[in-house]
Amino acid sequence: MNRFIKDTALSLGFDACGIAKADFLEEDAVYLRSWLNEGRHGDMHYLERNFEKRTDPRLLVPGCKSVVVTLLNYFPDEEQISTAPQIARYAYSAIDYHTIIKEKLALLEQKLVEEYGESIVAKDHQHIFVDSAPVLERRWAERAGLGWIGKNTLLISSQLGTFTFIGVLMINAETEYDTPMVEHCGKCTRCIDACPTRALAPREMNARRCISYLTIENKKEIPEEFLPLLSNRMYGCDICANVCPWNKKWAHPHHEQALTAFPGMLNWTAETWQNMTKEQFNAAFRYSAVQRAGYKKLMQNIRAANNLQSSARH
Ligand code: SF4
Ligand code: SF4
């Protein structure tokens, strides 16, 4: 079954697939509890919900025995022009990656049902997860042998680097499991040193200081202290990924047609972004991950990223 699942996942366009035994994530439960107690999640209160389910998939999905984890490479072959305010690479595509991966996972599930019968997944229950709060996807990817969690808190795949989307399919069958990968960060601290807002400590993220949080999840204005540190980022941040030597070694352009950017967007200048109307925003980002910020927040970010915030406020 292990081989069948992996071959099917690869045939559907995923770049890697691994399988882990569904189990209680004891160490993560202890860490997550103290992380939440210290308020490091900022305004992301949804992370406080479903605590028990988040650390034990058997409580999340009735009958769950195995966690199938897939990776989809999103490293683009073309970048935004460097003088424009920057979007994190994962959000380049005109179609939100959640949609793309969920469709692929649904096809994977369908093939498994055809091969092993309907009882392989929990009936009338969610068992597909993409970047969703109740599942610690990076930990499951590590347990499924797909990579390790680096000091930048990202999954580092030994085939793809860190620019991957993680998808999870919980199944109600036992199979052979993959061996978790050992960590290869060693003494390197490049990501920690490069983070402009000092959001990172080894394998620990203070979300309230991270540019990704400040430009997307934080719905208020970005606090004054962070404005000079945004490094021209308007939606998310790739700095701690860009400096990782494993990305220099392993990251390579994806082959997924569905991840194509809105036509011309990568060539928009700073001026184009600053003058973007709501209609233009909707035309370009109606189905994209950038919708998560919304037009108003994105325009605030653009002004902040370009250090135009003072003129906007006075
Ligand atoms: S994404 Fe940017 S701000 Fe956040 S931890 Fe990485 S380098 Fe720091
Ligand atoms: S930059 Fe260095 S420390 Fe950070 S994740 Fe990459 S290898 Fe690990």
What are the tens digits of pLDDT across the range 153-204?
999 998 999 999 999 999 999 999 999 999 999 999 999 999 999 999 887 8
Asked whether residue 149 falls in the same domain as residue 196, the answer is no
Confidence of residue 41 (pLDDT cuts 50, 70, 90): confident
Q: What is the pLDDT of residue 134?
A: 64
In a domain, 141, yes or no: yes
Asked whether residue 151 falls in the same domain as residue 51, the answer is yes
Q: What is the pLDDT of residue 309?
A: 45
**Percentage with pLDDT > 90 across the chain:** 78
CB atoms within 10 A of CB 24: 13
Q: What ligand has the least distance to the C-alpha of 199? A: 1
Cα atoms in the Cβ-side hemisphere of radius 13 Å centred on 191:
28
Long-range contacts of 62-65 (CB under 8 A, 24+ apart): 62/122, 62/125, 63/122, 63/172, 64/22, 64/122, 64/127, 64/170, 64/171, 64/172, 65/21, 65/22, 65/171, 65/172, 65/173, 65/174
CA 230–ligand 2 middle distance (angstroms)? 21
Asked whether residue 11 falls in the same domain as residue 124, the answer is yes
110 has pLDDT over 50: yes
Asked whether residue 79 falls in the same domain as residue 161, the answer is yes
Of 144, 171, 198, the residue that ends a domain is 171
Q: What is the pLDDT of residue 279?
A: 97
Asked whether residue 166 falls in the same domain as residue 23, the answer is yes
CA 245–ligand 2 middle distance (angstroms)? 7
Q: What is the pLDDT of residue 216?
A: 94
Q: What is the pLDDT of residue 305?
A: 80
155 lines ligand 2 (CB under 6 A): no
Asked whether residue 305 falls in the same domain as residue 194, the answer is yes
In a domain, 113, yes or no: yes
In a domain, 289, yes or no: yes
Q: What is the pLDDT of residue 34?
A: 83
Mean pLDDT of 46-74: 90
Q: What is the pLDDT of residue 30?
A: 86
Confidence of residue 8 (pLDDT cuts 50, 70, 90): very high
189 lines ligand 2 (CB under 6 A): yes
Asked whether residue 24 falls in the same domain as residue 142, the answer is yes
Of 125, 142, 171, the residue that ends a domain is 171
Confidence of residue 133 (pLDDT cuts 50, 70, 90): low
Mean pLDDT of 78-88: 96
In a domain, 89, yes or no: yes
Cα-based distances in Å from 98 to 94, 132, 144: 12, 9, 21
Q: What is the pLDDT of residue 123?
A: 86
What average pLDDT does the chain have? Answer: 92
Range of the domain at 77: 2-171
In a domain, 246, yes or no: no
308 has pLDDT over 70: no
Q: What is the pLDDT of residue 117?
A: 96
Asked whether residue 223 falls in the same domain as residue 140, the answer is no
Asked whether residue 92 falls in the same domain as residue 197, the answer is no
Q: Tell me how many domains the chain contains.
A: 2
Tokens of 274: 């600053």
227 has pLDDT over 50: yes
Confidence of residue 54 (pLDDT cuts 50, 70, 90): confident
Q: What is the pLDDT of residue 307?
A: 64
239 lines ligand 1 (CB under 6 A): yes
In a domain, 110, yes or no: yes
In a domain, 27, yes or no: yes
312 has pLDDT over 50: no
Of 141, 171, 201, the residue that ends a domain is 171
Q: What ligand has the least distance to the C-alpha of 88? A: 1
Asked whether residue 94 falls in the same domain as residue 195, the answer is no
To the query of whether residue 238 is one of the catalytic residues in this protein, the response is no
314 has pLDDT over 70: no
Asked whether residue 11 falls in the same domain as residue 150, the answer is yes
Asked whether residue 267 falls in the same domain as residue 154, the answer is no
CA 30–ligand 1 middle distance (angstroms)? 24
Q: Dump pLDDT digits (tens) for 249-295.
A: 999 999 999 999 999 999 999 999 999 999 999 999 999 999 999 99
Indicate the angle between helix axes 2-11 and 97-116, nearest 10 degrees: 140
- In ligand 1, the atom with minimum distance to the C-alpha of 238 is 1
Active-site pick, 56, 77, 131, 193: 131
217 has pLDDT over 50: yes
In a domain, 45, yes or no: yes
